[in-house]
Structure 1
Amino acid sequence: MSKYEGLTQRLARATTSEIILTFAEIEAATGVELPKSARRPQYWANQVEDARGANKAAREAGFRSFLLAGQDKVRFVRD
């Protein structure tokens, strides 16, 4: 079980094609603090191969992720 499994589960339960979560909501779902690098768009880059961390968790739930810069929020869009 990855440390971001809670995010995968949270997104998998979503009934909409798009959801916006704050960093605090992501941290509450996972029980871990996001790294400082989560404030950079590269952290949320939608690479199919070599996906890591929270981005990998989103991909596993069938979502792409997009940082909302300067807002400490991430927009998740269902593939």
Structure 2
Amino acid sequence: MSKYSALRRHLEAASGASVEMAFREIDDVVGGLPASARRYSAWWSNEHEGRHVQARAWLDAGWRVANVNLTAERVRFNRA
């Protein structure tokens, strides 16, 4: 089980067409984001295949990253 399973469950429980979260909120949900999540927008890509296990969490929950703002440390997920 991936540490990002908690994010998947969190998003599965969310309502509405869009959810915006601060990185610190996601930190709390998953037990800490890696430094690369704060440095590289590619970390937030909607890549189901490959090494991005974090992306599988939101994609499997039925969400996609619509926008990530590294400066403000915020991400918006839209329902897929």
TM surpasses 0.5: yes
Q: Which ranges of structure 1 fall in alignment gaps of 5 or more residues?
A: none
Tell me the equivalent position of 2:20.
20
Tell me the equivalent position of 2:52.
52
Scaled by the length of structure 2, what TM-score is found? 0.86
In the TM superposition, residue 54 of structure 1 has moved relative to its aligned partner by 2.5
Equivalenced residues, count? 78
Matches within 5 A, 1:1-79: 1-30=1-30, 32-39=31-38, 40-50=40-50, 52-65=52-65, 66-79=67-80
Could you list the runs of 4 or more consecutive aligned residues of structure 1 that deviate by over 2 angstroms after TM superposition?
none
SS of residue matched to 2:47 = coil
Scaled by the length of structure 1, what TM-score is found? 0.87
Q: Distance in 2 between matches of 1:60 and 1:24?
A: 22
Q: Which ranges of structure 2 fall in alignment gaps of 5 or more residues?
A: none
% of aligned pairs identical?
Answer: 33
